[in-house]
Structure 1
Amino acid sequence: MSPQKSTGVSRRQFLGLTGAAAGTLALAGCSASSWGFRGAGSKTAEITYALWDANQQVGYQKSIDEFQRANPDVHVTIEQIPYGNYQQKITAQYISGDAPDVFWVNTPWLGDWAKGGLLTDIAPRAKKANIDFGQYIPTLVDLHRDGSKLWGLPKDWDTIAIYYNKQHLAKAGFRTPPTDLAWNPEDGGSWLHFLKQVTLDHKGRNALDPAFDPGNVDVYATAMTNEFQAIFGSYLAMNGGAMLPHAYATKSVFDSKANRKTMTFLTEMLHAAHVLVPNGETGPNGNSNNSQTIFASGRMAMWQAGDWNTGSLAGLSDFHVGVIPLPIGPKGRISVINGLTDGIASNTRNPEAAWRLVQWLGSEKSQRIMGSGGYIWPAIEKLDPLFQSYWKKKGVDVTPFLTEAQGKVVNFPVGTGMNEALSNVETALGPTFLGQKSATSGLASATEILDYRISYATTT
């Protein structure tokens, strides 16, 4: 998978455009109930599968080659769309009546695409096909379900853990980093103590040393950046907080006492301890645009991130990378979990072939191909050791990501208007992550725009 941010058309534009598209499609006689193959009389159904990740495309081509051997009456063309304009292009293609038949759906877009009528409810077909939902990680099924409606089958997942520079941690005295560290918003706990131990100044003194020079730090412990999924979402959950009270909520619980304490810990206490990369260096608005570069350069000992970064980090030449789980919070160790699904365009002219492809991609045979090639963590739980084994052979033990997935997790927030809302939240929290506003002030501003976005998008 890939990070969760995207820039798309506005909600108002989307609703207006999909309304116009619906009229056009109705006049053309191309509705979701027109079950047939593209091109009357054709013996082969030509369908398109859209994704954005070039590395995963290699694996999916292998999977689809197998699918086509088993389904010679279906031909699948993969269309790669850059992530930055993926949502916008899929929406535009749908409006023009030429959307990919099957395409990746990222969680922030799910609510809008479902409400806008772009996605096909596959619940009836999944029931008829006797899909075994018990084979999947349970939270992933819930992620793509809205009441009785189901927008896709689980196919992969991501959790959040911490990559570390093995050579640096060994230099700081940790050949085997501890995995039982705990944090709390009152004094930082053993986690903050550890962060101070691995932060070294230009003379090799750590941040616990009375002679430590905070003005000349060679290697910082880590960075805390302005991102829900990769950074603060898990910490909110570990202190009993959340962004939404439940999926498709029209009012958030973002500005809570627990969340204010958590954000103060992340943006104020840790900076005051001099263990974080200075404000602004990681990227504009406090985001993580530069975090991987800083980590790869050796100026940051650890990088909290999603497992989709494993491929790029495994190839670093200056040091070897290890992985440790997130620290344990007051409510336990909890990671945000997310997963992509494959949506079927509601106006596809080949719904039967599209469903066969979706069913295949959610199957054990396909996910075995993808997991054993190190492309994804399979959503089918028993296949996860395949991905784990692939990367262990490459020198990276990704077990902590799996340990977290098997423990306490919280789903990425799902709702109508979430993509724009998350972008607005990041903008509102920027001054907090840059050290210009308090966590309390930042959360109040972010909550105001978040509540407006999800309420407006749901009721419009």
Structure 2
Amino acid sequence: MQTHARAPVSRRRFLGLSAAGAVAGAASLSGCALQVSTGVSGPGESVTVMVKSGDLTPDLIKQAKKDTGITINQVDYDITKLIAMLTSGNPPDLVRGVGAVDAAYFAARDVMQELDTYFANSSVLRVDDLDPVNDLWRYDGKVQGKGSRYGMAKDFSQDSMFWFNTAAFDKKNVAYPSETEPVTFDQWLQDAQRLAQRSHGQTTVFGGSYNGLVKLTLMATMTASAGGSLFNDDFSKADFTTPEARKALAWYIDYCKLKVGPSAILPDPNGWDGPTYQAGRLAMSNNGYWLGGLIGTDPKLAKVSRLAPAPVFAGGPRISACQGGTGLWMPRKAHNKDAAWRIFEWFFGEAPAKARATSGWGIPSLKSLRPLMPAKEEYQKRTLKAQENELKHFSVVAVSPYISVDAFESLFNQVSTPAMQGAMSVDTLAGHLNSVINQQIERGKEQVG
């Protein structure tokens, strides 16, 4: 396959890539490039893969060499290092990414390789076998979810779903949510209020968590659940003042103000839901199927845990999106694309993919691997039934390619804190968010254009 003969990323696009760092306070970047694969063909090839430590274990790297004959040189994922490598023209051959928020962002900046020809010629990763979640990794130059494929999810969850602990519901005499029909957001919040436990003014048991994976996808998916879109048609503006976006924003601010669950003004001491749910200090956890991998390590907890559908707004559509879709993408200037694709196939369609499918830590992104999902124990059968029912309601919720996930998160939390504390109205907050978010989007659009 021919390599595109393009110059390294321009300074203008570099500024677009690093815009998030300006907001989040990232350090300035140097031009230090790491050694990458040599492009040697045949046995003995090597590829550089930038991932987090848990993505590729030493054992998996050894297995890759055994199965494919290709040596993986692993580089720890770091956005500063990645941008330096991209701008110097020496990128890794494969890079970790989160489809929901990274695909359109990087594709719009022309640093990703289109993979359509590779997919078309692959006997391992057939397009008709790809779960629709992989559409998160598509971008047509305007809208996420359509057009060329730029990557693939290793597995996924529908992250607006939630787990609940029946023991916590029994203790407070609260009726269980249905495992097939969604509760309304208002009902969820009422339940969370009843389930929360406090002592001496301190929350000892959270009634429920509902923060999504990041605020960008949380606000976008909740607005979609209200029947609207957080962004305009060309994604050049966000609008929190539309009836649908305001409904989503008002609900989330109420959730924070009521202090029924962790938020920017009531942090979870554990940093995330897992340990808190395991300890019986969280009655409902807004995490999808993947959290079952953790829950399943404790048989007593697994017995009282249930997975419920994504909530809905009364009168709104049933939306159950994936807010993650973590996987890999190939930089356009990668030096050894064919070898990188072989590792791509192996990682997403061969031994590692089959092992992930059996683990319960995510839904396989190949439909043919779904029969491997754990269904031996009663709780696994119950979870699988709820999950299979929910798959019918999956849809891609597109986000703007002109603002990074980190920039959105930082700005949202900064501007929203007074409203969470009851010191600002939702309408005032919506106006402030429009101002700061759209300033950032405008800068991003100028850098991409």
**Superposition pairs for residues 305-454 of structure 1, below 5 Å?**
305-315=287-297, 319-320=301-302, 321-329=305-313, 330-337=315-322, 338-363=324-349, 366-389=352-375, 397=383, 400-411=386-397, 413-419=399-405, 420-454=407-441
**Superposition pairs for residues 194-209 of structure 1, below 5 Å?**
194-199=191-196
C-alpha contact (below 8 Å) 1:7/1:87 kept by paired residues: no
Equivalent residue for 1:123, pick from 113, 116, 120: 116
Whether 2:126 is the aligned partner of 1:132: answer: yes
Partner of 2:44: 44
2:251 partner SS: helix
C-alpha contact (below 8 Å) 2:358/2:373 kept by paired residues: yes
Amino acid at match of 1:449: V
Q: Percent identity?
A: 16
The separation in 1 between residues aligned to 2:299 and 2:117, in whole angstroms, is 50
Calculate the TM-score normalised by the size of structure 2. 0.75
Q: CA-to-partner distance for each residue in 1:378-406, whole Å, 9 max, x for gaps? A: 11124234234389778993654554333
Amino acid at match of 1:101: D
| Gapped regions of structure 1 (runs ≥ 5) | 1-5, 25-29, 31-36, 203-213
The separation in 2 between residues aligned to 1:157 and 1:268, in whole angstroms, is 29
Partner of 1:152: 151
Equivalent residue for 1:94, pick from 59, 63, 86: 86
Amino acid at match of 2:184: W
Q: CA-to-partner distance for each residue in 1:346-394, whole Å, 9 max, x for gaps? A: 3322122112222333436652232123453211124234234389778
Judged with a 3 Å threshold, the aligned counterparts in structure 2 of structure 1 residues 396 and 432 are, in CA distance, closer, same or farther, namely farther
Judged with a 3 Å threshold, the aligned counterparts in structure 2 of structure 1 residues 442 and 317 are, in CA distance, closer, same or farther, namely farther
Amino acid at match of 1:349: H
CA positional deviation for 1:258: 1.6
Partner of 2:165: 165
CA positional deviation for 1:316: 5.8
Amino acid at match of 1:235: M
2:113 partner SS: coil
The separation in 1 between residues aligned to 2:240 and 2:133, in whole angstroms, is 21
Calculate the TM-score normalised by the size of structure 1. 0.73
Q: CA-to-partner distance for each residue in 1:195-221, whole Å, 9 max, x for gaps? A: 45434567xxxxxxxxxxx96875442
Partner of 2:445: 458
Q: CA-to-partner distance for each residue in 1:210-248, whole Å, 9 max, x for gaps? A: xxxx968754422444842675544322211332346x6
Amino acid at match of 2:195: V
2:73 partner SS: strand
1:105 partner SS: strand
Judged with a 3 Å threshold, the aligned counterparts in structure 2 of structure 1 residues 331 and 385 are, in CA distance, closer, same or farther, namely farther
The separation in 1 between residues aligned to 2:110 and 2:386, in whole angstroms, is 38
Judged with a 3 Å threshold, the aligned counterparts in structure 2 of structure 1 residues 61 and 331 are, in CA distance, closer, same or farther, namely farther
| Gapped regions of structure 2 (runs ≥ 5) | 1-17, 142-146
C-alpha contact (below 8 Å) 2:189/2:255 kept by paired residues: no
The separation in 2 between residues aligned to 1:114 and 1:140, in whole angstroms, is 15
Amino acid at match of 1:76: I
C-alpha contact (below 8 Å) 1:182/1:191 kept by paired residues: yes
CA positional deviation for 1:45: 0.9
C-alpha contact (below 8 Å) 2:182/2:309 kept by paired residues: no
